[in-house]
Amino acid sequence: MEVRHVRQVMPAASRFSLEVRAGTGFELLIGLSAVAGTDEPRPSWVPASLDACPPASREALARVGDLAGELWLHVLGIALEHDADDSAALVSAVKRVPPAELRRHLVGVHVPAWRKLVGVDTLGAAAAGDPRAWARLLADDRYYGGHAAESLATLMPLSAAETKRRVVAALSTFADEVLAPHERAIGRALEREAAAKRTLGSSLSPGELISAAAGGYVYEAEPELTRVVLVPHLAAAPWLLLCQHDDARIICYPVEPEGQDGEQTVVRKALKVARALGDEQRLRIVRRLASGDATAAELADATGLTKSTTHHHLAQLRDARIVVLRGNASGYFYSLSATGLADAASVLAELGVPRVP
């Protein structure tokens, strides 16, 4: 692989359709993935942790699994299949899905990357309750990003009917208790963002629009996927969530705050840069990337950090536009962004911070 100290890349000609979808159904699932997946404080409507959820939601989520964050992202496919953009439509759609089919969604039968990794027969058998298939899935540390046990261990021993009861209960309870008080405002904000990106798409190529929306993510087209769906979210900033469902690549990207004047925007950008570079571990990642592109696993090895900690730091660096991500399910690579570094210096200069000679 060619190695450069800093590079900015764009994808080759696109061979996929691109659409922007927004709604509180997607937001509900992303919020569930965030609250179950991390205890980091979030400037959004999502509780800071499971313990911060209302009692009924906390109990319902515990019956699915305290750490079942990624599981909820596998339900995004149901939202797409049923055009269930708002939360009520999503809950209704999940209720209509046969229990056995819901289990197939949760295990990842509809995820091309998982089918290629472990085989569709193994996935189907695990969804049907075969303990040997489930053991084979757990033995592969790439399946579910190595978090299959945390995400699925509570549900997999259950019947399909009981699995569905618990998933529907968690969805509906969390929607009623946590999302509902904010849903109207969230829906308006997401639709404004989607409309803005649709307008921007009239002057950009699909690849350029993905990069503009997703903070410098350079998507490389996947032969098995014929469409890309951009989904804005407020629930899990600054995380970029890359998912698959059948023939679709689903890119869930964080929405930038609204209603800020020029000075506030500069200050916000400066704070992101300062936060990104004000951590010794993130500086170690930047120094490693100065010598060439790397995967998250390579960065973890080079810095001695865990994979989850490395992903956390990369999210902060990408949010500050210092690092860009490129690739697809075949492989993701991080690079320093020439444009982002220049912008960071420019922002600091606007605040009167002198450049270091």
User: pLDDT tens across 33-44, in order?
Assistant: 999 875 455 668
pLDDT, averaged across the chain:
86
CATH architecture of residue range(s) 262-350: Orthogonal Bundle (1.10)
| Phi, psi angle pair for 4, to nearest 5° | -125, 155
Residues whose CB falls within 8 Å of the CB of residue 216, separated by 6 or more in sequence, listed in order? 318, 321, 323, 324, 325, 337, 340
Query: Residue 349: which pLDDT band, with cuts at 50, 70 and 90?
Result: low
> Residue 263 pLDDT > 80, yes or no?
no
| Contact in structure between 94 and 167 (CB atoms under 8 Å) | yes
Q: What residue segments make up the domains of the chain, in order of their start? A: 21-183, 185-254, 262-350
> Residue 342 pLDDT > 80, yes or no?
no
| Contact in structure between 177 and 57 (CB atoms under 8 Å) | yes
Query: What is the rounded CA–CA span in Å between residue 298 and residue 141?
Result: 16
What is the SS3 assignment for 12?
coil
Stretch 142-160: mean pLDDT = 89
Tens of pLDDT, residues 206-242 = 999 999 999 879 999 999 999 999 999 999 988 899 9
pTM here is 0.86
Query: Residue 146: which pLDDT band, with cuts at 50, 70 and 90?
Result: confident
Beta strands in 240-330 (DSSP E): 241-245, 248-254, 323-328
